[in-house]
Amino acid sequence: MPQRVSYFGPAGTFTEAAALKHDPQAQLLPYPSIAAAAEAVSAGQADEAVVPIENSLEGSVNDTLDLLIHHTSLLIHRELVIPIEHCLLVPPGARESDIRAIYSHPQALGQCRGYLARRFPNAAIVPAMSTAAAAERLAREPDGAAAIATMRAAELYGMQVLDRGIQDNPSNVTRFVVLAHQDSPPTGKDKTSLCFTFGDDRPGLLHAALGEFALRHINLAKVESRPTRQSLGQYIFLLDLAGHRQDPLVSEALLALQRHVSLLKIFGSYPRYEA
């Protein structure tokens, strides 16, 4: 029986591309939000969930961080990195000179701002809820219109790709994580993700906590703070570190970390993505 993989849909988004890369044989199940895709796994409707966690231009995907921090006991089983290539879609047979309106999500429109200003200074910019929704609208309202969306959306909605790689910054990649009931066994090239917070707010707390890793020569791949949602000025810290939580030194550091923090949640250990 093929695996059931839920993802933050609809079909035609970069998250679907990540889900396909994760498991080309899987039965893919789109959900309307990151939280709903994860909940499908918790509720047994899917085996694994694929959600975006970080974009090289935009930074972290806050809905996914909040899910991991507050709302799920699922673990990170794998990470994947997908290049984000925005395409200009038009109805079959349409030409560049026909384009008077361009549909897309405000974030995609922002990432292609320079291209749009150079090539389509007079086109109306029309916001959509997602790049896939933009392609779908283009299929319904094709006259004089184009959409910024994925290659896959062009395929799904029978649209033609007039131009590709139109984002202003060519090095635009997104990291996705696969969430499951289990994380992954050690491979020797692993990462561990976790979050912690402090009960009070004295100078040196973060420094002392990070010292447990420095002491054991464990490299930190990422450090981030997120507001606690209660108020600005209270933070939860998120770390990615090199190594598996079962590696002796990492395991020792995590035990030692417990003594510094008021809350520690380990999101899982999983193989480091290699292109």
Decide whether 63 or 163 has the Cβ nearer to a second copy. Answer: 63
Cα separation, 217 vs 124, whole angstroms: 54
**Binding string, 61-100, against a second copy, x = CB under 8 A?**
-x--x---------------x-------------------
Query: Among 1, 44, 202, 274, which residue interacts with a second copy (rule: CB under 8 A)?
Result: 202
Instruction: For residue 1, give both structure tokens.
Output: 């029986």
**CA dihedral defined by 175, 195, 30, 41, rounded to 10 degrees?**
130
Other Cβ atoms closer than 10 A to 161: 15
Q: Is 221 in the site for a second copy (CB under 8 A)?
A: yes
CB 127 within 8 A of CB 105: yes
**CA dihedral defined by 69, 70, 75, 79, rounded to 10 degrees?**
-50
Query: Among 152, 175, 244, 245, which residue interacts with a second copy (rule: CB under 8 A)?
Result: 175
Q: Is 223 in the site for a second copy (CB under 8 A)?
A: yes
Q: Which residue among the candidates 14, 120, 176, 198 is catalytic per the annotation?
A: 176
Instruction: For residue 48, give both structure tokens.
Output: 């694994």
Active-site annotation holds for 8: no
Query: Among 219, 246, 258, 262, which residue interacts with a second copy (rule: CB under 8 A)?
Result: 219
Q: Is 231 in the site for a second copy (CB under 8 A)?
A: yes
Instruction: For residue 77, give both structure tokens.
Output: 């089983």
Active-site annotation holds for 174: yes
**Binding string, 103-142, against a second copy, x = CB under 8 A?**
--xx--x---------------x-xxx-------------
Instruction: State whether residue 235 is helix, strand or coil.
Output: strand
Strands lying side by side in the sheet with 263-271: 220-227, 235-242, 190-197, 263-271
Q: Is 213 in the site for a second copy (CB under 8 A)?
A: yes
End-to-end CA distance of the chain: 29
CB 116 within 8 A of CB 123: yes
CB 38 within 8 A of CB 72: yes
Q: What angle in degrees, to the nearest 10, is found between the helix axes of 205-215 and 248-258?
A: 160
Q: Is 264 in the site for a second copy (CB under 8 A)?
A: no
Q: Is 263 in the site for a second copy (CB under 8 A)?
A: no
Shortest distance (Å) from residue 206 CB to a second copy: 6
Using CB under 8 A, list all residues that contact a second copy.
Answer: 54, 56-60, 62, 65, 81, 105-106, 109, 125, 127-129, 169, 171, 173, 175, 201-204, 206-208, 210-211, 213-214, 216-227, 229-233, 235, 237, 242
Q: Catalytic residue positions?
A: 174, 176
